[in-house]
Chains A and B, each alone.
Chain A
């Protein structure tokens, strides 16, 4: 018997159609395809795929359940490792994680692990999941979770299941973190995120929105006055970087965070029905090569931009974005200006009229092991654009660090925390996700939330004795 060498194709919206709407790009496997894809799994004893997954989802087990038509069991297995499978099935960089280690990948294509994960999660959601609130003692210890992104949501869920009284404090008016304000609807429908959050509430987690820790409350007030016995910090990496080139304060220059927040969280695509405006522009340049850049470039097209460019100073091989996202962006008509480095945003009457750039070539590898881009003398040119979006990375927001004594941070301002437990330099305070690692991935943030929840449980048990 020769196994099917290729993954079953993912049904998708036609690129021409989807480039104009915000509906999900990929449509998900149907039952037959899911079953056929599950059949491809060899159920290797060693299950190398699991080592590629940051939370070691029992991949062969949940796939076996799909094969057997036991969807309830499949989701139970998945959820015992990963509380947001519908999210991870959609946004995990599987080709770098689980699927990279799949034995089939050596000769053909790996099992579509992410697609099957999504299938099981969607099935469970569509067929009604029941969430039962755990038993909680009247005198349950209180834990504060700061930030309602993947790290905070995961930590809160695990702690609630262990019987703690958990409150999440979220600065924005909606919980979800990057899942709500950053990743666009066409990749991750917001209804899915909200369903996960409503499940969390069913577990008894209280979510206080509009609560900015460091301002509305300080961590010390939570501990000393509000009766919380432990704190988990999952505030992410939300501070946008700029290139520090001339013209960056011209009208029409956005950080990707602002552009995406206006569109996703504030629903600017419904303007003026929704009150928040967005300046889309006819020709848009997005500077950067990661997922954030792809999201911004694809969003610009959907909002009506005629041309949308990715301006990236290295070549496509070095681009940090997921392969699938690059592929989708190209299909939709995003144009790639690779080996191109922006020098200056040019403008007239305080509005952007262009992006002056320089052509680059790849030189020797640098400290990161990637070949360093070097300027080609005399290659300057100006890209004709009226909006420029900076998607060159985010750093940690200093609000908490600057208002919490004794909380150690590194040079870049990230909170220093133990990798296995999330323990920070202050007893009772734990941290994980992008605020510790710098901008990373959803599943890594969730993994950190999980580890911290376990460590907080241990800490509070000891405290009880």
Chain B
């Protein structure tokens, strides 16, 4: 059993848990994820490690309630426990001194970008971060990102905070202004695809963290396969980070939707008590 040491509600659908998981806290690196299971009937849900405290033996998970499992998770309170956490999984981000690095976080993707930005800075890079969301109240990790970056830009689709527009709008401007060594982007797939298209003509090395549907997370099921450079890769063991210019985003988007019809049924049957997918 793994205990929820602290819970924060960041927005109506985004929650943050500090979990007691000493062995994982000891080992994990930026870019890695865990797979959790709430109870004996639970799904294996992959979540990125948003932060970790090796001394306290704590990892931070941040999740958006999108379906039955994440809804159920969101209902748990401080002091309660979940059954399983396995990890750390996936390959750590390649951190080295490169020059100016742009770290982009879209929506909830800002959480996993944060430890990467911090490590990029610690490695001696100049870190420019762009975080975006649909609207101001969905922005997360603003202070953390400010601390981890040399410069921070905020965008909202509706202009309720920061620059009105998309993260890609700021990125285009930055490309015009200076030489970028690498762009790292985590967020909704459409955003990551957008970033890839912006940097492609300039051949700026661009890394994205993919989130296909997973089961085991150890390379056993093949369910997480994504098309990268005309090859099938398993995101859990070959990734989750890949060269954005090689990724076939359309296949990823399609595969992510595979269970929506079934998940709808799960929600209607009251798992997690959610009202998602019903609109």
B262 & A216 in contact (Cβ 8 Å cutoff):
no
Nearest to B225 among chain A residues (CB) is A249
Q: Which of B127-135, B141-149, B171-179, B252-260 contacts A (4 or more CB under 8 A)?
A: B252-260
The residue from B23, B87, B215, B262 contacting A266, defined by CB atoms under 8 A apart: B215
Task: Say how far B189's CB is from chain A's closest CB, in angstroms.
Answer: 14
B87 & A276 in contact (Cβ 8 Å cutoff):
no
Q: Please name all residues of chain B whose beta carbon is closer than 8 Å to the beta carbon of A172 when the two chains form the complex.
A: 86, 216, 218
CA distance A217 to B28 in the complex (A): 11
B237 & A257 in contact (Cβ 8 Å cutoff):
no
Task: Say how far A276's CB is from chain B's closest CB, in angstroms.
Answer: 5
Query: Which residues of chain A (154-181) have a CB below 8 Å from chain B?
Result: 171-173, 181
Task: Say how far A414's CB is from chain B's closest CB, in angstroms.
Answer: 15
A255 & B223 in contact (Cβ 8 Å cutoff):
yes
CA distance A211 to B269 in the complex (A): 33
Q: Please name all residues of chain B whose beta carbon is closer than 8 Å to the beta carbon of A210 when the two chains form the complex.
A: 84-87
Q: Is B221 on the interface with A (CB-CB < 8 A)?
A: yes
Nearest to B69 among chain A residues (CB) is A275
Q: Is B68 on the interface with A (CB-CB < 8 A)?
A: yes
CA distance A278 to B23 in the complex (A): 32
Q: Is B232 on the interface with A (CB-CB < 8 A)?
A: yes
Q: Is A271 on the interface with B (CB-CB < 8 A)?
A: yes
CA distance A240 to B226 in the complex (A): 14
Q: Please name all residues of chain B whose beta carbon is closer than 8 Å to the beta carbon of A404 when the two chains form the complex.
A: none
Q: Is B27 on the interface with A (CB-CB < 8 A)?
A: yes
Chain A 257-292, CB-CB to B under 8 Å as 1, else 0, gives: 110011000110011111111110000000000000
User: Which size bracket describes the interface of A in this complex?
Assistant: 35 or more
Q: Is A239 on the interface with B (CB-CB < 8 A)?
A: yes
Q: Is B136 on the interface with A (CB-CB < 8 A)?
A: no
The residue from A242, A273, A399 contacting B232, defined by CB atoms under 8 A apart: A242
Q: Is B265 on the interface with A (CB-CB < 8 A)?
A: yes
Nearest to A238 among chain B residues (CB) is B220
CA distance A171 to B84 in the complex (A): 11
Nearest to B237 among chain A residues (CB) is A399
Q: Is A397 on the interface with B (CB-CB < 8 A)?
A: yes
B220 & A249 in contact (Cβ 8 Å cutoff):
no
CA distance A277 to B67 in the complex (A): 12
Q: Please name all residues of chain A whose beta carbon is closer than 8 Å to the beta carbon of B227 when the two chains form the complex.
A: 249
CA distance A255 to B223 in the complex (A): 7
Nearest to B221 among chain A residues (CB) is A258
B89 & A251 in contact (Cβ 8 Å cutoff):
no
Nearest to A239 among chain B residues (CB) is B219
B262 & A215 in contact (Cβ 8 Å cutoff):
no
B43 & A275 in contact (Cβ 8 Å cutoff):
yes
Nearest to B37 among chain A residues (CB) is A173
A261 & B216 in contact (Cβ 8 Å cutoff):
yes
20 A/B residue pairs, CB under 8 Å, sorted by A: A171-B218, A210-B85, A216-B23, A238-B220, A251-B258, A254-B222, A255-B222, A257-B220, A257-B222, A258-B222, A270-B41, A272-B269, A272-B271, A274-B41, A275-B43, A275-B69, A277-B262, A278-B262, A350-B255, A397-B218
- Which residues of A are interface residues toward B (Cβ below 8 A)? 171-173, 181, 209-212, 215-217, 238-240, 242, 244, 248-252, 254-255, 257-258, 261-262, 266-267, 270-279, 350, 390, 397-399
- Which residues of B are interface residues toward A (Cβ below 8 A)? 23-24, 27, 37, 41-44, 68-69, 72, 83-89, 215-216, 218-223, 225-227, 232, 237, 251, 254-255, 257-259, 262-263, 265-266, 269, 271
